[in-house]
Amino acid sequence: MTDLSRLDHQPRIVVIGLGVVGAALADELTQRGMRHVTVLEQGPLWETGGSSSHAPGFVFQTSPHRTMSLLARRTLDKLDGQKVDGQWLLKRLGGLEIATTPERLHDLSRRNGLAQSWGIASRLVDPDECAEIWPGLDTSGVLGGFHTPTDGVVKSVHAVRWQAERAVEHGARLVPRTRVVGVTRTGGRVTGVEVLPVPAPDGATPEHVPADVVVACAGLWGPGLARDLLGFELPMMPMEHCFGLSAPVPGLIGRHDVLDEASRPMLRHQDFSLYLREYVDRIGIGAYRHRPMPVEPDGVAGADEFAATGVHPAMHPLTWEDFGPSWDEARRLLPELRDVPFSEGFNGIFSFTPDGGPMLGPVAGVDGLWLAQAVWVTQSAGVGQVMADWIVREDPGVDTHGLEYTRFDPAVVSRDWTRARAAEAYAEVYDVVHPQASTEVQRGLRTSPFHDRQRELGAVFEQANGWERPLWFEANAPLVDALDRVPERDAWAARHWSPIAAAEAHATRTAVGLYDMTPLSRLEVSGPGATAFLQGLTSNDVDRSVGRVVYALLLDDAGGIRSDVTVTRLGPERYLVGTNGHRDRVYLESRCPDAVRITDLTAGTCGLGLWGPRARDVLERLTDDDVSHEALGYFRAKQLRVAGADVLAMRVSYVGELGWELWTTADQGRRLWDSLWEAGAPSGLVAGGRRAFHSLRLEKGYRAYGADISREHSPAEAGLGFAVSRRAGDFVGRAALEDRPVRRRLACLTLDGPDAVVLGGEPVLVRGAGPGEGAVGYVTSADQSSTLGVTVAYAWLPPELAEPGRALEIEYFGRRLPATVQSEPLVDPEMSRILR
């Protein structure tokens, strides 16, 4: 990628699509000095025919995902106070979410905690306050509510127009009724697009529009564009969603000026998957309580059909059998609707993805080609800002790991997979979703050679990137009785968890555990210049002796952590790189010189973590090679023969115990497992799952990318300064580190009391702070420690509050739990357990 802000000429930028995202991006690009911006829209201006043209425009800021909340806030802040033809673009009506079940009321408390963590004004309210906030609400079945006074509703068509016209004022060009039919490229770089007018006369020849940068903001048409013009499957599925309007409500007639439109907040009745808002003198009702209705690309009307018929492509006829129950529930909830007939409605089409996040970022293998897809009005202006910073300066300024489309590995992406996962995401829009829940569809896509053995041990699995990963093993249940104290959890924290995990962690600390590491992505980087290539991208010195393992960071140009990796030197110009997934591979390939080869080894290899004080006893029974500390020291790697299998033994430990990662080819994996299992029996070997793994790594202070650290954080802030080499020579992000201030720190806290449990996302407060003083930080990840008998939590805090001994509180479902900042690591700070 090229930093456009450093070019000595103005790049030609083409944006495909003038919905809320395309308009926001064009505006933000011109605000950053880009003057040759062309927006190609296949429909008419403003009401273009996509989902932006009918979206209700709700902007609820509170999300479990911090970045999504930040993008929603940016959208509100940008559009606040703006007008088109005297009409507002944004009205901060506030939001009210009500609970009619104890489970929902409990979840609203969690959402209130998330709002505090992300700095969003919010409060929990009782039924009487709900009735005050929304006069006329039937609160007979309401148990409470969650009020967010700064949330708002956006008039999406006006938002498109205001941002697009502002872009034009700064030099952008808008070209309506023009369809992109091709993307041209030369030598791996985009050169422009080919277009036809809408409608196109018979035999029309496409016109070439040259461009240095092309950004697809095609909305509902994005999957078809990616498949037909870009040559890859985009994991995104348009879905129908029922929406209806009542006839005029007598009590609302004359209450609002037509331009004023609404006074009561946006109302969500999530126990019935229902939302409501005022539209002048009518009530709009949105229904998610119906079957998922996916729409294939050919089910969305094209530009020619839209031009010929005028039928809105993103609005299908209302299916009453799906909407009817929601209409009945709306009338029960709002007595003012009980004598009012239904007026009209439609099935609006919106974009859904397997995890509910957008599809952003540079397209792999084509320099200058970008995506900004699957973005709702809620995050639209914020996404425009992030994309403009990303394109112009190569610094999006926010954590993007959950936004980039490359987070999905092509090894699992298919039409069937996308359809099933998007349908699940649709069904979960208003569900109470536990943060540790795993998908229930498209399971078993990827399994390690140990999968059958794990099932025999009663493994309880989760899914990650298509891989089945054991959480714990029911065969280890008898080990719970041997614990000095069995940990307890409340009902919420106990979901997707078992005390067996504590027993597995204890067994790993006291004997030896066997962990499946196969889902860890592994790349071989080789060929002339491989060393120089990795030296230029990683923060640590990888030019070490053959057999050396190095922990390093991949930084962005601003010094933020875009990933962390392990780099093992296998030969003079051959390395094994352990990464955090497909997006790391794409990043490395985007900067890889021609002579260097990057080969993904993940599918054809497998690995086991053998860790614990008796790990060496087990391994020595299976190999004639010397595996003593002197022969195979910490952070060293060596090829061994283990029970006849050819194994790469890496002396590293993510759980803080003596041991190795043992890697071999997939065909020898079953033999490796069986041999270790048999040899480990005299030493008390147990199979360990991800829950034990997670607890052990927190005890040792090891960071998890995407949970604890992201590109918003510098190595110094994250406590990873040791991974930044002082070597001569440059690497990406090094220059920025010299001037980057430390604005916060990742701190280790322990909670007072063995059963005080938090899971992540909770607000951190100064101990004794009053109700209005607000959060000073937030928890990234946490778990109970079977070794120490306390809960360990990591949290981002201001530097002055991250000092050991500082007394703080963590709010968990409205309860303030005392916590104290600790020196880290909590377990084995002398490293005596590992270095032996």
Name the catalytic one among 271, 399, 409, 564: 564
C-alpha 471/C-alpha 497 separation (Å) is: 8
Q: Tell me the residue type at 453.
A: R
CB 93 within 8 A of CB 150: no
Instruction: Report the SS3 class of residue 405.
Output: helix
Structure tokens at 140: 């007979």
| SS3 sequence of 99-141 | ECCHHHHHHHHHHHHHHHHCCCCCEEECHHHHHHHCCCCCCCC
The strand pairing partners of 514, in sequence order, are 610, 687
The strand pairing partners of 646, in sequence order, are 641
C-alpha 578/C-alpha 691 separation (Å) is: 21
Of 170, 183, 173, 172, give the one whose Cα is nearest residue 218: 183
Of 548, 687, 670, give the one whose Cα is nearest residue 612: 687
C-alpha 15/C-alpha 26 separation (Å) is: 7
Alpha-helical runs (H) found in 334-477: 380-393, 415-427, 451-456
Residue 321: exposed, middle, or buried by beta-carbon count in 10 A (0-12, 13-18, 19+)?
Answer: exposed
C-alpha 769/C-alpha 421 separation (Å) is: 43
Name the catalytic one among 158, 241, 290, 713: 241
Instruction: Report the SS3 class of residue 749.
Output: strand
Task: Give residues with Cβ within 8 angstroms of 107, minimum separation 6.
Answer: 99, 432
Is 629 designated active site? no
599 dihedral zone (left: phi>0; alpha: psi -120 to 50; beta):
beta
Of 338, 358, 332, give the one whose Cα is nearest residue 70: 358
C-alpha distances in Å from residue 433, one per residue of 238, 436, 464: 22, 8, 17
Structure tokens at 222: 């994005």
Q: Tell me the residue type at 108.
A: L
What's the count of helices (H) and strands (E) in the chain, helices before strands? Answer: 19, 42
CB 94 within 8 A of CB 149: yes
Name the catalytic one among 36, 151, 271, 275: 275
Cα angle, residue 646 at apex, residues 641 and 652 outer, rounded to 5°: 80
CB 653 within 8 A of CB 832: no
CB 751 within 8 A of CB 758: yes
CA 60, 64, 66, 71 torsion-angle sign: negative
Structure tokens at 287: 């229904």
What separation, in Å, do the N-terminal and C-terminal C-alpha atoms of the chain show?
45
φ, ψ dihedrals at 484, nearest 5°: -60, -35
C-alpha 569/C-alpha 577 separation (Å) is: 9
Beta strand residue intervals within 389-544, DSSP E: 459-464, 467-473, 512-516, 521-526
Cis bond leading into 199, ω under 30°? Answer: yes
CB 90 within 8 A of CB 82: yes
To which residue do tokens 């018979």 refer?
202
C-alpha 375/C-alpha 381 separation (Å) is: 10
Cis bond leading into 825, ω under 30°? Answer: yes
Structure tokens at 58: 């709700």
C-alpha 299/C-alpha 645 separation (Å) is: 53
Q: Tell me the residue type at 264.
A: R
Is 241 designated active site? yes
Of 374, 558, 391, 356, give the one whose Cα is nearest residue 25: 391
Is 126 designated active site? no
Active site residues: 241, 275, 564
